[in-house]
Amino acid sequence: MGSTLDNTTLSTISLLEARLMRIEHLLFGHTTQQPKVSATRSMQELEHRFGILLQRMRVYAELLKLYKSQPTLFQPPPPSEPPSELSSDALRAIVLAAASSYPATASALTAISDTPVPDPAHTASLASLLPRMKGIEATQLAQAAEIAELRARSEDVIRRWYEGDVLGYSNFVAGVEGRVERAERSVRRVEKARTEI
């Protein structure tokens, strides 16, 4: 029994050492020299670094304590077996609570299986249209840029027309109305002066 355990331990260490050598080969390329540190020493260094990590990160230390005290929490039971922590009454209540969703789920799964698979020729024809669709998209982007430029130019033309023609005409009409009012006032003064004589 003891020799079997020793052989298993030695083979495990040699396998770990081979894995480490493969990783070093992937990282550093082909090396002809043997690794300077043995697998046992590497394992000790890894354990030391893991211990430092547990000291610095309290969350990891708490998780490790929880794993040591309740290892079944981290190892789910096989799907065929019910959870050992629950009583049969609790399991029955869970199954009965979910019983109403079974017909709906079965109906949805049946509907999915009844859905026909689309013809691959249609998918292939759509995939062949992808370059044309990208060209159309580029054309649309160019047209959108051209429309934006035309809109800006139209706005500039309308602003110049409004500021030049419409406002100019309004100023002209306002000037004429002012002259007419002044003429009417002078005519009234003359008429008033004539009636007083």
Rounded Cα gap, residues 161 and 165, in angstroms: 5
Task: Categorize the per-residue pLDDT at 71 as very low, low, confident or very high, splitting at 50, 70 and 90.
Answer: confident
pTM: 0.30
What tens digit of pLDDT does each residue of 111-156 get? 777 777 778 888 888 888 888 999 999 999 999 999 999 999 999 9
Least confident of 17-26, 61-70, 158-167, 170-179: 17-26
Rounded Cα gap, residues 65 and 124, in angstroms: 56
Rounded Cα gap, residues 40 and 47, in angstroms: 11
Cβ(73)–Cβ(66) below 8 Å = yes
Tell me the percentage of the chain whose pLDDT exceeds 90.
14
What are the domain boundaries of the chain? 152-197
